[in-house]
Amino acid sequence: MAFTQAANVVERIVGHSDNTSITTDVSNYDNEYGMETGDKILATTWQGKNKNVGVIPQLEKGDVLGHECCGVVERVGPEADRVEVGQRVVQYSQFDRTNGNKIENAMYGKRTAGMFGYSHFTVGFAGGQAEYTRVPYGNVNLLHIPLDVPDEKALYLSDVVATSWHCVVDTGVKKGDVVGIWGAGPIGQMCAEFSFFYGASRVILIDGGDAAWRLDYVKTKLPKLEMISFTDLLRGKSVTSRVKELVTGGLDVALQCAAGEYAKGWTHYFEQMLGMETDTSELLN
């Protein structure tokens, strides 16, 4: 919490770069952009440490969360001639030329695009866990949902499908490869599907603990999938040694789909608390 507040103060001092093409930092309107008026809407907002997610720097009290959403167009701006009121749409979670945050640029050497519902670290766009969401560049940032596609399927186009697809494509999975996937959540499940789509000869999905049930679930969808539950391994045997037993010469591709923001050791824990973390190998270890 202290780091988040400090980061917000620093950003106000150093200001933003002039590379953005739209007004940013409008997650809520109790600021220089005006006061909140009219009827209140239901929304999931960040209210402080231990009240909701808190690992993302530069959250401010009242910020609306949620970066994956779909819904119905209620109102359009004067330049949004590709979308109409009443259309069902799903939105991207990022936009180009919308992030002028100098702190992010200093920490990572580059900027991500602006993101819905993350924080002012990614320029504070209000998120989608709300009755209404403002969508910058709605003309190109909204995909029309066909009538025969339910919301429960269309929703994944906002992030999960794209994340999984690029995970497989960017690592170059090709015909005949043996692929290992750490994490059997939605991303890992779709990466398994896409790996087979690109011709992988074998896919080994790795998970365990309280999430071990997901392995059995995915097996019902992809019968040729192989699985390793790390909680079922004999004492002294590691996932790595089990993989080597199953695959002569080792994996061709390894995909990390086990999520992030997870501290296993004290060093990483304090890095998170102080907002000093960059990348960690703990998930793979």
Q: CATH code at 205?
A: 3.40.50.720
Q: Is 173 inside a domain boundary?
A: yes
Res 59: pLDDT: 82
Nearest to 260 by CA among 208, 209, 185: 185
Residue 2 belongs to a domain with what CATH number?
3.90.180
Percent of the chain with pLDDT over 90: 41
Instruction: Please state whether beta strands 226-229 and 88-91 pair in parallel, antiparallel, or not at all (unpaired).
Output: unpaired
Q: Is 263 inside a domain boundary?
A: no
Let me know whether 165 and 203 are in one domain: yes
Average pLDDT over residues 22-48: 78
Residue with the larger pLDDT of the pair 135 and 48: 135
Q: Which residues form the domain of 250? A: 161-256
Res 3: pLDDT: 58
Residue 2 pLDDT more than 70? Answer: no
Decide which of 158, 185, 201 is a domain's last residue: 158
Let me know whether 3 and 137 are in one domain: yes
Res 237: pLDDT: 86
Among 118-122, 161-165, 226-230, 245-249, the least confident range: 118-122
Residue 40 pLDDT more than 80? Answer: yes
Res 112: pLDDT: 77
Let me know whether 50 and 133 are in one domain: yes
Let me know whether 51 and 144 are in one domain: yes
Write out pLDDT tens, residues 182-207.
999 999 999 999 999 999 999 999 99
For the ranges 13-17, 28-32, 43-47, 249-253, the one whose mean pLDDT is highest: 249-253
What sign does the CA torsion over 47, 50, 52, 53 have?
positive
**CB neighbour list of residue 230: distance below 8 Å, 6 or more residues apart:** 206, 207, 208, 209, 239
Let me know whether 56 and 124 are in one domain: yes
Let me know whether 101 and 232 are in one domain: no
Residue with the larger pLDDT of the pair 244 and 91: 244
Write out pLDDT tens, residues 77-115.
888 888 999 999 998 766 667 777 777 777 777 777 788
Decide which of 142, 158, 174 is a domain's last residue: 158
Residue 16 pLDDT more than 80? Answer: no
Residue 43: pLDDT band (50, 70, 90) is very high
Number of domains in the chain: 2
Res 119: pLDDT: 81
Decide which of 158, 185, 209 is a domain's last residue: 158
Res 121: pLDDT: 79
Let me know whether 141 and 56 are in one domain: yes
Residue 282 pLDDT more than 70? Answer: no
What gap in Å lies between CA 195 and CA 108, rounded to an integer?
Answer: 30
Query: What is the per-residue DSSP string for 49-92?
Result: TTTS---STT--TTPBP-S--EEE-----TT--S--TT-EEEE-
Q: Is 267 inside a domain boundary?
A: no
How far apart, in Å, are the Cα atoms of 215 and each of 163, 205, 218, 223, 226? 20, 7, 5, 11, 9
For the ranges 27-31, 131-135, 178-182, the one whose mean pLDDT is highest: 178-182
Let me know whether 139 and 171 are in one domain: no
Mean pLDDT of the chain, nearest integer: 84
Let me know whether 133 and 223 are in one domain: no
Res 37: pLDDT: 80
Residue 1 pLDDT more than 60? Answer: no
Res 131: pLDDT: 94
Residue 251 pLDDT more than 70? Answer: yes
